[in-house]
Amino acid sequence: MKAAVAGQPGQVEWIDLDEPVIGPGEVLLRPLACGICTTDVKFVRAGYTGGPRYTLGHELVGEVAAAGEVARWQVGDRVAAAPYLPCGSCHYCFHGQPTLCPHLFENSLDPGGLAERVRIPRPLAERGLFPLPEGLPLSIAALAEPVGCCVQGVEDCGLTAGDAVLVVGDGPMGLLCAAVARAYGAGLVIVAGLT
């Protein structure tokens, strides 16, 4: 199967990878849409520097192509996938800071979303796949992961209805954060661009 990875600085390469093999409780996704994150752009700009090749794409929406004894998911189900999963039991998870979990990347997309097939490990298949509503455009569904990041940020701020919010940065994440703040009841939302 083909997968997109960073090549020379500023270039993306399509390389051949073995198709992932799933085990019990795991899911194999056929990507339908995948957003391009600033993280992906940074990897491409820097270029491949040696070591394992990182398959680009973690804002993934896909269709279940195979399921290994998973009660919840069936072949053909359309889902949004979390890119990784905190353990839920360490100090950071216990204190509401799951993005600092030292085990965060132990259960992650294999490889990334810009591959022809993606293995979803059992814990991620159980807690990190979300069914897509019927008729939801894939271009909107692929925003699930970045919107989730914005929701986490707004909730961490303790926003209450009517609060004024300043979002520094007018890129995609900044604009999504502004929309989420408004949806959470912010009164005045100001977006300040950096350029």
Interval 88-129: pLDDT, tens? 999 999 998 888 999 998 888 889 999 999 999 999 999 999
Positions in the chain whose pLDDT score sits under 70: none
Supply the pTM of this predicted model: 0.88
> Would you give the DSSP letter of residue 84?
B
Task: Tell which residue, 128, 127, 105, has the closest CA to residue 54.
Answer: 105
pLDDT at 190: 97
SS3 40: helix
Write out the CATH class of domain 2-138.
alpha beta
Q: What is the largest CA-CA distance in the chain?
A: 52
- The single residue listed with the structure tokens 């909107």 is 140
CA dihedral 113, 117, 123, 125 (to 10 degrees): 100
Q: What count of other Cβ atoms lies within 10 Å of the Cβ of residue 187?
A: 12
Q: What are phi and psi of 2, to 5 degrees?
A: -95, 150
Q: How far apart are CA 77 and CA 79, in angstroms?
A: 6
pLDDT at 80: 97
CB 116 within 8 A of CB 3: yes
pLDDT at 29: 97
How, if at all, do strands 189-192 and 165-168 pair? parallel
> Would you give the DSSP letter of residue 33?
E
pLDDT at 194: 77
Cα–Cα separations (whole angstroms), residue 164 to 150, 182, 185: 16, 10, 10
